[in-house]
Copies of this chain bind each other. A is one copy, B any other.
Amino acid sequence: MGLVVQKYGGSSVADAEGIKRVAKRIVESKKNGNQVVAVVSAMGDSTDELIDLAEQVSPIPAGRELDMLLTAGERISMALLAMAIKNLGHEAQSFTGSQAGVITDSVHNKARIIDVTPGRIKTSVDEGNIAIVAGFQGVSQDSKDITTLGRGGSDTTAVALAAALEADVCEIYTDVDGVFTADPRVVKKARKIDWISFEDMLELAASGSKVLLHRCVEYARRYNIPIHVRSSFSGLPGTWVSNERPSEGGAEQVEHALISGVAHDVSEAKVTVVGVPDKPGEAAAIFRAIADAEINIDMVVQNVSAASTGLTDISFTLPKTDGKKATSALEKIKGRVGYDSLRYDDQVAKISLVGAGMKTNPGVTAQFFESLSDAGVNIELISTSEIRISVVTRADDVLGAVQAVHTSFGLDSDSDEAVVYGGTGR
């Protein structure tokens, strides 16, 4: 009874069987009385195969041409999907990003959406068709060249189209049942979250949860598009991400801490700049050097300086892939900053607890640290926000740490303690 934008990832359309299964699901939604726009990624590993081909002809493929190349991937999956739907007796039309009106800037390989003008899509669904749209791609406003949106691009396409079409919901179909209170591969008793706020979802995404990317959630929050993350395999209800918890419950719980889940991330490394003179401008010089090297950092921690020496240590985390770039950038400014030494450590993990109302519930922080301590996990760095506590530990400790925190906060699926800090939407 409305307009639904659906998104199917590469693993859902990995082969002909997958495409036929997805076609059935789309037709079901149409039969339920919805207008349906389906955004689709490239089949399985096909994008990687194209990148491999590109590297065979050119060690550093040109951005414009790489985008032209990679967009062939969605072209294949979307055309096949439209055929499969027509084979089920329903009308379908496929559209490239350009045809769908996805207008971007000119930054090839990681373009940002500037505008969406979905006139052809609107006409197509109004005429009774199911519209299939290539994810991940657009056309640049200035040069009319084909662009790609970079990582998580198809999710962003779906949310942006949903916003432009004023859709009732954006359904993100994936190979898991939804967003969980922890990674189900790590925590056996992780629970599927029925509802989570945009803010909590943003923190989870920033803390290592891979189900939805930060960028897509941010877009949905800005335009207030409810996201429904669900499995293309099971078809069961998944996780709703939206501003307001739907209907029943919740009101009487707003003063409690509502823990959404535990996230972990082992993709980061920790850099410590040891013996930094504790005077104005030193930290600025360090992070300017990092920024100039185009490295995104995550946590930043500075301890108070030792009174005896007037020196302090500054630590930060960053993607392991940027580790070498960061240390060599810092070594170049060693003389100017006058620090003692650099320590680089890539055997670390970040564990984060995310949930609304933490700040006003001091017990949450204490309980978090106690649960880690009970599990014998040493904390190396701490960083907190309004709705998140993150710690850095040894990489070896990550599984035990996540499990301990998950259990302690009553998130395990058969736990009775979920009343106090829990509340995952049920």
Contact = CB atoms under 8 A, between A and B. Distances in A.
The interface size bin for chain A is: 35 or more
Interface in A60-108: 61-62, 64-66, 68-69, 71-73, 75-76, 78-84, 86-87, 92-94, 99
A83 B71 contact: no
B87 A59 contact: yes
Contact of A68 (B20, B65, B66, B78): B78
Contacts of A187: none
A53 interface: yes
Contacts of A86: 58, 62, 65
A16, A76, A79, most chain B CB atoms within 10 A: A79
B94 A16 contact: no
Contact of A53 (B16, B23, B92): B16
Contacts of A20: 57
Given A57-B20, A57-B84, A59-B87, A79 B93 contact: no
Interface string A333-366: 0000000000000000000000000000000000
Main secondary structure of the interface of A (DSSP, over half): helix
A19 interface: yes
A280 to B, nearest CB: 47
B69 A54 contact: no
Interface string A187-209: 00000000000000000000000
A385 interface: no
A58 B76 contact: no
Contacts of A3: none
Contacts of A87: 57-59
- 7 shortest interchain CB distances as A-B pairs: A69-B79, A16-B56, A58-B87, A68-B79, A57-B84, A72-B72, A58-B83
Interface of A: 16, 19-20, 23, 50, 53-54, 56-59, 61-62, 64-66, 68-69, 71-73, 75-76, 78-84, 86-87, 92-94, 99, 120, 144
